[in-house]
Amino acid sequence: MAPTKSINGQDLREMFAAAASWLEKSSADIDALNVFPVPDGDTGTNMLLTMRSTIEESQLANDHSASGVSKAMARGALVGARGNSGVILSQIFSGLSQALDGKDAINGKELADALAKASTVAYAGLSNPVEGTILTVIREAAEAAQAHAATVSDDVVSVVEATVNAAKESVANTPTLLPVLREAGVVDAGGQGLYTILEGVLHYLKGEVEQLKLRRPWMVASSIPLTAKSPQMVGMEEVPYGYCTNFVIKGEDLNPDKLRKRLEKRGQSVIVVGDDSAVRVHIHTLDPGDIMSYVVPMGTLHQINIRNMDEQYRDFIEMQKERMPAVEVAIVAVVAGEGLANVFTSLGATFIVPGGQTMNPSTKDLLQAVDVVTSDKVIILPNNKNIVLTANQVQSLTEKTIQVVPTTTIPQGVAALLAFDYEADMETNAQSMEKARTAVKSVEVTRAVRSTKLGGLDIKKHQAIGFLNGDLVAVGDKPDAAVQDVLARVNLDEAEVVTIYYGDDTTSEEAEVVGDSLDEQHPRLQVEVVKGGQPYYNYIVSVE
Amino acid sequence: MTVKIVTDSLGDIPSDVARELDITIIPLNVLFGEGIYRDGVDLTTEQFYQKLAKSQVLPTTQIPSLGVFVESCDELAKESDEILVISNSQKMSASYEAMVEAVEKMKRPGRVEVIDSQWAIMAQGLIVIATARAAKKGASLDELIALTKKNIPRADVRMVFDSLEYLEQGGRIGKARAFLGSKLKITPILGIREGEAFPFSREHSRARAIDHLYYFATSFSHIDEMAVEDATTPREADALAKRLKSQFPKMNIYRTTVSPVIGAHVGPRVLGVAVLGDRG
């Protein structure tokens, strides 16, 4: 039966071995999460390999006390560490072993203190600790463990349970701390890995052998709603370059702190961990030879591993493609206004070209967007009648296959995008998007820029004017009234959904008033008021 | 000797149909905090959604202990030397793995075969029903295995969702992740592809999403079995079933509800159509 009062050396071996098998089940899923600090997509594998080395070394230890086994683990983790998360994990084991020094067995309180030490050591190993990563998770988990041990119970299982719960919460919270995670819509991969390890330990301590065997770890969901991910986001990230260089120096009187400071001048993402006899180095550099020459006088070099990050990055892009369905067809949309851009991106548009009524993008602008997206097949949504022709030009300038769905308004563009079918080919999609485009009615309201007579209407400068499907049908002093006026010409009894996108110059209160009055007049209608943030148009309204 | 048919509760087979066709259903568990309920046994779908509405904690689900699988199979082995187990998609639950493991642990191992249906809800259910019907007519175990494998690619399902939050929380979102985070109120229509949730379509209104289900069913050229299932909106499901019935007057359309375990992963107000048949 699992211990609850204390943990000895053998327990340490077994609980972390169980944790390693638990981690193994989800290492591929964790790989898929990796977006930070470099998109190389192998955090799960790196942590797993680090754990394996940790466990192997622990089994070789002759000293079976908690102190002896944890020292062996720290050694195993240090020599086996791969990737940023692996290195930080090795720091955690290093911290644990420092706290367990000289101890035969530990109770819950001592375990909590050891986790706190692990957290301190992990932070100290990095020249520039970043929150929202595995670091935050170990720190918050350790804090919870200490608080629990101090105020609730120092029973080992209950301390570990509190640790695991805090770790899970901390992982879910990582996207709020790191924008890159938020954009990609994922939690931090290293944090998830650490949570999974702690959870594996807990299952073991609770004697949940069947769980460990038959279940697989849950991936923590982000605590903030996901924004749609798209290859666009990846393409916009700073592309890493150079070589990811890893090695161990063995020697005498090595000074990790001094070495770290020196190396920071020679590369990026520098991690230096170890002691005066063995130091592990991780650095991104344009010239690995330079780094090698620099360190070789200090001792002997081991486990040299140099990888081309551009290749890693390409693999990452490939993996991103696999994660999302049907990115073989990308959608480029021309949209003005941040709110509307968000709407299009959230519905799966791959790339937004800023533009619209008052700023028509050039063919080159569109061509660049088409070239940037990773897909060879691209559907363009111009969303304005003045941009359709420009969009049609793109095909003659690119090798890629282009389909223009000639959307002339934002509502048409949204309707077309909603009709996109992740399973269908480009031809079929273009057809169904065209069908959806023509089924929607578009209302646009703006201010007249000069006085004129048009469509039998007398219009003064700055008056609000309303268009229905591109035709001028209403004029009034206020945009709100003009919207109502245009909508009065549409048979709303046959409509199901009305979406009101309010512009840059319109407040949400004003827009809500328009929405509420529609709601009152047509209770069966689904009315949605969305911030479009578009320039020029006070209101763009879609009637479906 | 009649081959016994076993499945898990994720196929949403109505209990009267299971009784009639002699299908053994092994219930999974749904957990509200400390309370553990056997799917459809200790908790009906209606009770589940009432609890869900009041509960402070989100429900979680689990497969029953291995012993439950072993006992059920051992019990059946007293009646027949041959058992065919058709499980939920192994990409969605650990049911398949547990059943394979249970077979190894059985006391009286006659011949027991386990097949991963690669489906859930009534798509899984219809495959099991077709196999059970053939078993009742005296088909051999080998014939039943062949029939089941033939039917797996013939099943399909679409389900209208009110929200994808439950699917996401439970880690079963799969590629339907593409539909998350919409800035507009859309109604997602998901199906299952290669054993996982797949984003098929989305509509801006629920009425149109329900139309989508109707057109999905009518896109088949030949239909063996059909089912309409709901969670909390029986009237909507009845209306859809009636509409389908007028299109397929001779068809027996199963009307069922999602089981509580499925409910924990799909949330309220889902509505689905499952078909076993051929297209084009």
Q: Are residues B166 and B46 in the same domain?
A: no
Superfamily of structural domain A7-224: DhaL domain (1.25.40.340)
Whether residue A104 has pLDDT greater than 50: yes
Residues of chain A with CATH 3.30.70: 243-314
Is the Cβ pair A216, B94 closer than 8 Å?
yes
* DSSP string computed for A522-542: -TTSEEEEEE---SSEEEEEE
Contact status, residue B119 vs residue B192, Cβ threshold 8 Å: yes
* DSSP string computed for chain B: -PPEEEEEGGG---HHHHHHHTEEEE--EEEETTEEEEBTTTB-HHHHHHHHHH-SSPPEEEPPPHHHHHHHHHHHHTT-SEEEEEEPPTTT-SHHHHHHHHHHH-SS--EEEEEE-S--HHHHHHHHHHHHHHHHTT--HHHHHHHHHHHGGGEEEEEE-S-SHHHHHTT--GGGGGGTT-SS--EEEEEEETTEEEEEEEESSHHHHHHHHHHHHHTEEEEEEEEEEESS-HHHHHHHHHHHHHHSTT--EEEEE--HHHHHHH-TT-EEEEEEEEE-
Spatial neighbors of B16 by CB under 8 A, at least 6 apart, are none
- Interface membership of B219 toward A (CB under 8 Å): no
Looking at residue A33, its pLDDT comes to 72
Q: Are residues B33 and B114 in the same domain?
A: yes
- Interface membership of B215 toward A (CB under 8 Å): no
Q: Residue A83: which pLDDT band, with cuts at 50, 70 and 90?
A: low
Is the Cβ pair B181, A227 closer than 8 Å?
yes
Q: Residue A345: which pLDDT band, with cuts at 50, 70 and 90?
A: confident
Q: Which of B184, B202, B205, B216 to mutate to test the interface with A (most CBs of A within 10 A)?
A: B184
- The CATH class of A243-314 is alpha beta
pTM for the whole thing?
A: 0.62
Q: Which of B180, B204, B219 to mutate to test the interface with A (most CBs of A within 10 A)?
A: B204
Looking at residue A224, its pLDDT comes to 57
Q: Which residue in B has a C-alpha nearest to residue A227's C-alpha?
A: B181
Q: What is the DSSP letter of A126?
A: B
Q: Which residue in A has a C-alpha nearest to residue B167's C-alpha?
A: A221
* Coil vs helix vs strand at A279: strand
Looking at residue A219, its pLDDT comes to 72
Least confident piece of the model among A171-185, A337-351, A415-429: A171-185
- Name the pairing type of β-strands B111-116 and B23-26: unpaired
Q: Are residues B144 and B158 in the same domain?
A: no
Contact status, residue A263 vs residue A291, Cβ threshold 8 Å: yes
User: What are the tens digits of pLDDT across the range A17-62?
Assistant: 999 999 998 887 787 775 544 444 478 887 998 899 899 999 988 9
Q: Which chain B residues are within 8 Å of A221, Cβ to Cβ?
A: 168-169, 171
Looking at residue B95, its pLDDT comes to 92
Q: Which residue in A has a C-alpha nearest to residue B185's C-alpha?
A: A528
Whether residue A244 has pLDDT greater than 70: yes
Q: How many domains is chain B partitioned into structurally?
A: 2
Is the Cβ pair B184, A325 closer than 8 Å?
no
Q: Which chain B residues are within 8 Å of A421, Cβ to Cβ?
A: 200-201
What residues pair up with A105 in beta bridges, in sequence order?
A8
Q: Are residues B145 and B168 in the same domain?
A: no
Residues of chain A with CATH 3.40.50.510: 325-439
Q: Are residues B174 and B224 in the same domain?
A: yes
Which of B137, B153, B169 finishes a domain? B153
Angle at A322 between CA A318 and CA A323, to 5 degrees: 115
Size of interface A-B (CB pairs under 8 A): 82
Q: How far are the Cα atoms of A300, A408, A493, B183 from residue A441, in angstroms, in the given order?
A: 73, 11, 14, 20
Q: How far apart are CA A487 and CA A481, in angstroms?
A: 10
Amino acid (one-letter) located at A67: S
- Interface membership of B201 toward A (CB under 8 Å): yes
Q: Work out the percent of chain B whose per-residue pLDDT is above 90.
A: 76
Is the Cβ pair B63, A214 closer than 8 Å?
yes
What residues pair up with A529 in beta bridges, in sequence order?
A500
Is the Cβ pair A219, B97 closer than 8 Å?
no
Is the Cβ pair B207, A219 closer than 8 Å?
no
Q: Are residues B175 and B257 in the same domain?
A: yes
Q: Which chain B residues are within 8 Å of A219, Cβ to Cβ?
A: 171
- Name the pairing type of β-strands B253-257 and B220-230: parallel
Q: How far apart are CA A402 and CA A331, in angstroms?
A: 10
Tell me the residue range of the domain where B161 lies: 154-279
Q: Which chain B residues are within 8 Å of A225, Cβ to Cβ?
A: 180-181
Q: What is the DSSP letter of A264?
A: H
Is the Cβ pair B66, A347 closer than 8 Å?
no
Q: Which residue in B has a C-alpha nearest to residue A224's C-alpha?
A: B181
Looking at residue A236, its pLDDT comes to 29
Looking at residue B33, its pLDDT comes to 82
- Interface membership of B63 toward A (CB under 8 Å): yes
Question: Residue A422: which of B66, B171, B178 has the nearest Cβ?
Answer: B178
Q: From the centroid of its chain, how far is CA A207?
A: 35
Least confident piece of the model among A4-18, A121-135, A352-366: A352-366
Q: Are residues B57 and B192 in the same domain?
A: no
CA-based nearest distance A343→chain B, Å:
5
More confident residue, A187 or A412: A412
Q: Are residues B191 and B143 in the same domain?
A: no
More confident residue, A234 or A216: A216
Residues of chain A with CATH 3.30.1180.10: 441-543
Chain A residues with CB within 8 Å of chain B CB: 185, 210, 214-216, 218-219, 221, 225-228, 324-325, 339, 342-343, 346-348, 414-415, 418, 421-423, 496-497, 499, 526, 528, 530, 544
Q: How far apart are CA B82 and CA B251, in angstroms?
A: 31
Q: Are residues B169 and B232 in the same domain?
A: yes
Contact status, residue A159 vs residue A112, Cβ threshold 8 Å: yes
Q: Which chain A residues are within 8 Å of B156, Cβ to Cβ?
A: none
Q: Which residue in B has a C-alpha nearest to residue A436's C-alpha?
A: B203
* DSSP string computed for A297-322: GGSEEEEEEEEEHHHHHHHHHHHHHH
Q: Which chain B residues are within 8 Å of A215, Cβ to Cβ?
A: 94
Q: Are residues B158 and B145 in the same domain?
A: no
For residues A447-459, average pLDDT? 77
Question: Residue A325: which of B98, B178, B204 has the nearest Cβ?
Answer: B178
CATH of the domain at B89: 3.40.50.10170
Give me the CATH topology for the region A441-543: Hypothetical Protein Tm841; Chain: A;domain 3 (3.30.1180)
Q: How far apart are CA B25 and CA A148, in angstroms?
A: 43
CA-based nearest distance B142→chain A, Å:
28
Give the residue among B93, B125, B114 at the shortest CA–CA distance from B197.
B93
Q: Which residue in B has a C-alpha nearest to residue A343's C-alpha?
A: B183
Whether residue A509 has pLDDT greater than 50: yes
* Coil vs helix vs strand at A156: helix
Q: Residue A229: which pLDDT band, with cuts at 50, 70 and 90?
A: very low
Q: Which chain B residues are within 8 Å of A216, Cβ to Cβ?
A: 94
Give me the CATH topology for the region A325-439: Rossmann fold (3.40.50)
Q: Which chain A residues are within 8 Å of B70, Cβ to Cβ?
A: none
Spatial neighbors of A276 by CB under 8 A, at least 6 apart, are A252, A253, A254, A255, A256
ipTM value, please give it: 0.83
Is the Cβ pair B208, A421 closer than 8 Å?
no
Residues of chain A with CATH 1.25.40.340: 7-224
Q: Residue A184: which pLDDT band, with cuts at 50, 70 and 90?
A: low
Looking at residue A323, its pLDDT comes to 43
Contact status, residue B61 vs residue B28, Cβ threshold 8 Å: yes
Which of B109, B127, B153 finishes a domain? B153
Contact status, residue A161 vs residue A167, Cβ threshold 8 Å: no
User: What are the tens digits of pLDDT across the range B87-103?
Assistant: 999 999 989 999 999 88
Q: Residue A3: which pLDDT band, with cuts at 50, 70 and 90?
A: very low
Q: Which of A346, A414, A500, A534 to mutate to test the interface with B (most CBs of B within 10 A)?
A: A346
- Please give the mean pLDDT across all residues of chain A: 85
Whether residue A155 has pLDDT greater than 80: yes
Whether residue A131 has pLDDT greater than 70: yes
Q: Are residues B179 and B216 in the same domain?
A: yes
Looking at residue A66, its pLDDT comes to 96
For residues A177-206, average pLDDT? 87
Is the Cβ pair A526, B201 closer than 8 Å?
no
Q: Which residue in B has a C-alpha nearest to residue A543's C-alpha?
A: B204
Amino acid (one-letter) located at A102: G
Instruction: Taking the CA atoms of A18, A19, A20 and A24 in sequence, report the sign of the dihedral they define.
Output: positive
Question: Residue B199: which of A214, A227, A325 has the nearest Cβ?
Answer: A325
* Coil vs helix vs strand at A434: helix
- Interface membership of B184 toward A (CB under 8 Å): yes
User: What are the tens digits of pLDDT across the range B156-203?
Assistant: 999 999 999 899 888 888 888 889 888 999 999 999 999 999 999 999
Q: Residue A324: which pLDDT band, with cuts at 50, 70 and 90?
A: very low
Q: How far apart are CA B87 and CA A435, in angstroms?
A: 40
Give the residue among B275, B271, B160 at the shortest CA–CA distance from B219.
B275
Is the Cβ pair B183, A342 closer than 8 Å?
yes
Q: Are residues B45 and B169 in the same domain?
A: no
Q: Which chain B residues are within 8 Å of A342, Cβ to Cβ?
A: 183
Looking at residue A37, its pLDDT comes to 42
Give the residue among A438, A403, A413 at the shortest CA–CA distance from A347.
A413
Question: Residue B204: which of A214, A530, A544 has the nearest Cβ?
Answer: A544
Contact status, residue A171 vs residue A30, Cβ threshold 8 Å: no
Q: Which chain A residues are within 8 Å of B186, Cβ to Cβ?
A: 347, 418
Q: What is the DSSP letter of A239?
A: P
Q: How far apart are CA A267 and CA B266, in angstroms?
A: 48
Question: Residue B65: which of A210, A215, A544 has the nearest Cβ?
Answer: A210
Whether residue A321 has pLDDT greater than 50: no
Which of B153, B178, B213 finishes a domain? B153
- Interface membership of B100 toward A (CB under 8 Å): no
Looking at residue A310, its pLDDT comes to 66
Q: How far apart are CA A44 and CA A157, in angstroms?
A: 26
CATH of the domain at B166: 3.30.1180.10
